[in-house]
Structure formats: structure tokens, C-alpha cells
Structure 1
């Protein structure tokens, strides 16, 4: 299960123990290679290449990527300036391909799909996740927001797993020779300061004062959900500023004409990136991997990300009483948070929904969450356990039904949907601050008794995404 988090390399947790070596694929055989031997200390940049099993765009992108792969690694091999020896190796840039299913897979035989998969990856110079490891492919696709039906190239720092860029395919099209590879993005404050801003009257405005929390609002006039959300954001923006907070919003438009842009901007009391500055607008969207609108990203005064789910925060806190919505160690399990259960294990304390029970739940969960974060010095969002309070609501009921536990309260659970495992605190043990800490410790070291999550009888849908 999700134990030994402190010592397990990030890539083994995310990619699994073995990968396919594409160059060795034959009609009758697929050779698996331990992931540790693929990602040794010489690899500096790792590309996760998500592709559909068929598609013209995939073929074109793959051809460009093969050329780049060879070019970058040959340059690394000939790098005489590096005296450390680490770069003097062909594979300093490695790629792992994740081939996802098409809608037609359900009507095509398993043999035909497997043959199509082999044909797709055969003779490629890199590696691939086994096609039938649907759980891992789904987790990677969600984790890195792979596009559906089109290729996506995500570049990571191989040592840490930190994302360099999620727009590798787009960068590859504009820079096929890799002259600026690995296309490290500019810091967001540098992007914002590289051009001007305008007011809702379409006039230039001075720089944003220091110490300001900034919201980047990705939206468009043609988008019905955007037009519904904008008045809500105006309300929150006004309430927050009335209380004296330094808060500014910058509209980053996806409008299709300057007329629509100006018409939409006129309904907003904040600033905007000028419509003609489409390069900067695209750069900001790429920087935060924006794939849908409306999206509200909040940054602190130094340009560090506070949350990329400002829309959800505004919906749940319309008066901005918890502004600027810094992440909490313990959250109520709402539909919005439940979607995160796809990718990370969670400690969930189910209680009744009254104020006293919620206060009790937070009082016993928070010390354990604080100790956990301090102990593991976690910085990457791959390496964390979530802490939730499951109150009496539809989201909790659906989750209980999915994992197969009754409606007893209070009930402390460890739920690891990515690994398909769960554990429950014994009935005769009192739920206290200390017992919760012990429960978490047993979950981490693997000594907690767990059972399989049997999910084949229920199609659970939380956060708009099926968890099976």
C-alpha cells in the first residue's frame, strides 16, 4: 500500500516497478525493464508522452519527438564541458509513453488492441507503460492532465518529478530542433511584468502595488459557465477589497475577437492582459496548465501559487471570509475535494454533520496532519496523504458505498483508492489525538491491517470523474 513514502522514489510510485522497452517489442514478446534502471542518475529530463492508440496528430508528434530525443541525447553524449561524467551519456533525456484507450476499444477484441499497441510503440527508442495497466495510466493521465484524443508531452525534472512544462507538444511544434529545450517557463511575475495591463475602460494602468494577492482569471465571453461565474467573482472581489485586503484580478482572455473581449471586460471591475498580447495570454495559460475555463488561479505577493482552484473556493466561500484560501491540512470532504481521492491516499474521519462533531474531528485530525507534514518535509504534491472530515452528506454516503463500509460514526479510515486498499480503526479503540497519530503511523509503515476495495459492483462518480 502507500507505505514507506519517505524512501520510495517518486518515479516508482508513479510509474510502477516495470516498463516496456519499446525497441525490443516483437509480435510475440514484450520485454519489461525495471524502472530503476531506466531512470538512473544520468537522466536529467523525463518526458511523459501521452498518446491515443490511433491518430494523425500522434504520428506527426511522435516523428518530431524521435528526432528531438536523438538530437538532445547526442548533444549530451558529446558534451565535453561536463567534467562530472553525469552528462557524458546518451540518455540524459528519457521518454515514457502512456498510450490511452479510444472509445472504440470496447468494441474491438483484446487481441486487436494489443496488436495496435505493439505496432504503435514498436522500434521507438524509449519506454512505455504496459497497455493493460489501466489503473496506472488513468492515474498518470489525471495527475498530469493529459488531453483526451490528442498527444500531450509533459517534461519533468527526473530527480524530483517537478513539472518543467506541460506544453511539450506545443513547444516541440515551434522549436523542433530543441534550441530552447527543455523549454523552462519564465517565472509568472516576469511574464506579468513583460507587458502592460489595461483597465475595464481599456486604458493603461500602473503596476500592481507590492504585497497584492493576484488572481489570474482565465475566461471568455463565449463561454456560458464563465458568464455565470463572473458575477460571482465580482461579488467576492468586492467583498474582499471592502475588508481592506490587497486583492487584484487580471483577466486572461480566450475570446475570439477583440470586440467580444472589450464587451466582456466592460462587465469586470479589474484589470486585463491586452487582447493583442496573445503571446503573453497563451504563456500564462501554459504556465498553469489551463485546459478549461473558467479557471481562477491565485498567487501570493511573490508569485507563488496559492491555489489553482479559485473557482471552487469562490463557490464555497462567496463572501471571501477565508480569503486568500491557503491550502488547509484538514478539509471537509466535499465533491470538489473528493476528486483528489483518485490520486492520493487519505485519512478520513466520518462524523455527524453538527458543529460539535466537526470541531471534534478537526481537533483530532489536525495534530496528526501537522506531524505528518513536518516529519516528511513534503513539498511535491505527489508525496502526501490527505486528511478529510466526512460529514453526513451525499459525497460521504457515495464514498462509503463505494468502499463498502457502513454508516457508523465516528469512524476513522485510511482509504487508498490508487492502490485499491483501505483500513479502518478497530471499534474498541477510542478516537483521540494520540490514537489518530498511531493510526497514521501504522498506515505509513505498512503495519495497518487493510483490505481490498471491491468496486466492481458500483460505478462511483465523484468530482465528475469515475474512480473505477
Structure 2
């Protein structure tokens, strides 16, 4: 998709009678100031929690590029409810914005670039040609290193990333600044003592309700696996904190019976970026040789509980085939007591996919009941039926 014709991006950001953008302090900055710069068009809103999380990440990248004197600018396109909400949210941003009052400009930009969800960040080169539509993912993944966001630069970073993952070991992942150990509630353990085990890296935080809920489930599964003689020494979990301070980290770790990385913000941030973790809780599974098996440990635990162990492709394929066979007995549609519309059975291959269950608030993958009218989604096990209809044909 191209942003504009020969005149570049600037005409799309102006309106009759307005040839300026505004800074977070309310100053007017001429659109001509964007000439010669790589531009990030940032569609966002104060009411969206993902926008709230991503904005400071983008601000760090923006400030770093500015400090390096890179020709880069961001323009905020707001979906805020009112002027005061816009002012408050834009006040947290060090970049420019389309004035909140210019509803037509914001609407035309949203329609032109087919923005269906926020946050969305589209990158443009100095000529106004689109560089990247998935700017949010790229910023999360590579930070300021992605500048100038060209295809060649992203391919270069992807190649570096592949090389790192191919040579990945537990030691290279977890040791840093001379520290070569993890901790339990009572002692330090050398990282090398964990080699040969299946490892779950558990990214979580104290002030995260979904984390609290999933931790409880994971503790039960961990203890169950540990109680089995054949798995007792073969599986371990390591807590990687996403907490903002050490006090929250300590409170969070109290509920966990497994190991942890010591509280080190930079180490946690590096691992979050390395594994491209966009939200918590996340459970990443490493094989006994330290390579990544799956980033979908949370999905698999929710779907299969302790049967998911050891999380290999062969094991998951076996469980999926068994679940597909079981799904033949499910009704095609149901009426659920907590939803007014009929729900239809879908699989990952027939309109389903990763989802958050509207009944238990846990992630799901594979088979689900889905409302085609409003997007309500629910695990089959969470259904409380009023009535059922035709079953899937054998």
C-alpha cells in the first residue's frame, strides 16, 4: 500500500485551513518540519490497555533515536473520547499529533490505512511510501535498532535473531553480568545444573489479575508433574518478572514453588524482547538442549493441563488428534446461559484461533464456541447449556 502520490505523506496530515500538527505542550509545528524524515503514524487511544502499555515503549525508542539525531518523527492519530482525554494521553507522548478537533482528517487516515484495532503503527519513508504496516510488532521486537525500518534492515535483524536462536543455550539465555545462577526460595542454583531438563520460562507480574489466576493453575500442574517419579527431575519452571519494582517481584514470587531469576529489570526486559513477549502471563518452553520448543505454553496448559508435558510437537499432535476425535461428539451450536445469541462450534481451521474465554478469562486454542454476531468466545468445557442442536457428523 502506498501512502500518497509524489507529494508524500504531508497532504494526508493537513486539512483546509490547517497546515500544522501539535506538540504535547500545545505548540503548533508546521507539517513541513516532517520533510526528509521517516514517519511513524501512531493510531492509539487512552482507553485501550494495549495502547497504554505500548506508548512508553515507543517513547523510549523515539527518545533514543532523537538522542542519536536520527531523522525520525511520530504523529499521533487519536481515537480518544474527548478533548480532555486526548490532552491527557498526548501529554505522555514526546511526539506530534493531529489536532483532536480535526475529526475528518482522523477519519480519513483511519479509513485509508484500514485501521481496525489500536495500537497500530505504520512506518513511512521520507517520500511517504509505506515501509511497514506492523510497526508495533517491530518496535516491540527490535526497538531503535530497527531504524530506518526498511525491509532490508528488518531482514538483517531477522537473520541475526535466527542465528541467536539457533545457537541458544540455557546458559546464554539466563546468565548475565557475571551471574550464572538462578534462585529458589532458599538457595542459589547454578544454571548448568538445569541442563538436560525441559524448562518453562514463566513471564508474570504481581499486579496482573490474569497472572494471578494462571499462576494458581500452573502451580497445581507443576506439583502434579513433580509428584510423578518419571518426571520429577526432568521439568522445571523459572519465573521471569515483569514487575516494576522489587517489592512487587517478591510478593509475586511468594505464590510460586519453582525457581526464579533474581530481580534484574534489564535482564527481564532483554528476555521479553528476545522472545517477543507482548503480554503476560506467558509460558515459553525450552527443550533439554536449551532450544525453544514453543511460546504457547499457556495455551497448551489451558487446553491439556499436565498432559501437555513434555510439550513436543509429537505430544501436542497426539493430543490434538485426540481432541479432534472428541470434538465429533460436541453439538454444532449451543445456547449458553450467559449469552443471548446462539454460539457455533469452530476450530482453529474453520474460523477459530487463539482467544480469551469470556467465561473463565483464560486463553484458549483449537475448538471453541463462538458468537458470529458479536465475537463472544468460550471454551467447550465452560459451556452451561440451555439447549443443544445437531452434533457434528461422524
Q: Give the TM-score, by structure 2 length.
A: 0.51
- Separation in structure 1 between the aligned mates of residue 310 and residue 61 of structure 2, nearest angstrom: 42
Deviations 1:197-224 (A, max 9, x none): 3332252212244332221112234444
Match of 2:267 among 277, 280, 294: 280
Does 2:255 match 1:231?
no
Deviations 1:328-384 (A, max 9, x none): 57997xxxxxxxxxxxxxxxxxxxxxx99836969xxxxxxxxxxxxxxxxxxxxxx
Deviations 1:392-419 (A, max 9, x none): 5569x99x958xx8x9xx99x95599xx
What residue in structure 1 maps to residue 391 of structure 2? none
Q: How does 1:62-461 map to 2 (within 5 A)?
A: 71=70, 99=77, 101-104=79-82, 112-116=102-106, 130-132=109-111, 136-138=114-116, 146=119, 165-167=138-140, 171-172=143-144, 187=165, 189=169, 190-194=172-176, 195-206=179-190, 207-241=192-226, 242=228, 244-245=230-231, 246-275=234-263, 277-318=264-305, 320-326=306-312, 358=325, 415=351, 458-461=373-376
Runs (5+) with no aligned partner, structure 2: 17-37, 87-99, 124-130, 354-370, 380-394
Q: Give the TM-score, by structure 1 length.
A: 0.44
- Separation in structure 2 between the aligned mates of residue 227 and residue 322 of structure 1, nearest angstrom: 21
Once the two structures are TM-superposed, the CA of residue 298 in structure 1 deviates from its matched residue by 1.8
Deviations 1:289-315 (A, max 9, x none): 434433222233455443333233223
Is the contact between residue 141 and residue 276 of structure 2 (CA under 8 Å) also seen in structure 1?
no
Is the contact between residue 202 and residue 282 of structure 2 (CA under 8 Å) also seen in structure 1?
yes
SS of the aligned residue for 2:325 comes to helix
- Separation in structure 2 between the aligned mates of residue 215 and residue 356 of structure 1, nearest angstrom: 24
What residue in structure 2 maps to residue 27 of structure 1? 15
- Separation in structure 1 between the aligned mates of residue 332 and residue 194 of structure 2, nearest angstrom: 41
What residue in structure 2 maps to residue 462 of structure 1? 377
- Separation in structure 2 between the aligned mates of residue 256 and residue 61 of structure 1, nearest angstrom: 16
SS of the aligned residue for 1:230 comes to helix
Pairs aligned (count): 284
Runs (5+) with no aligned partner, structure 1: 1-16, 29-45, 74-94, 119-129, 333-354, 363-388, 418-453
Is the contact between residue 152 and residue 168 of structure 1 (CA under 8 Å) also seen in structure 2?
no
SS of the aligned residue for 1:115 comes to helix
- Separation in structure 2 between the aligned mates of residue 63 and residue 256 of structure 1, nearest angstrom: 21
Is the contact between residue 64 and residue 176 of structure 1 (CA under 8 Å) also seen in structure 2?
no
Once the two structures are TM-superposed, the CA of residue 287 in structure 1 deviates from its matched residue by 2.5
Greater RCO (CA < 8 Å, at least 6 residues apart): 1
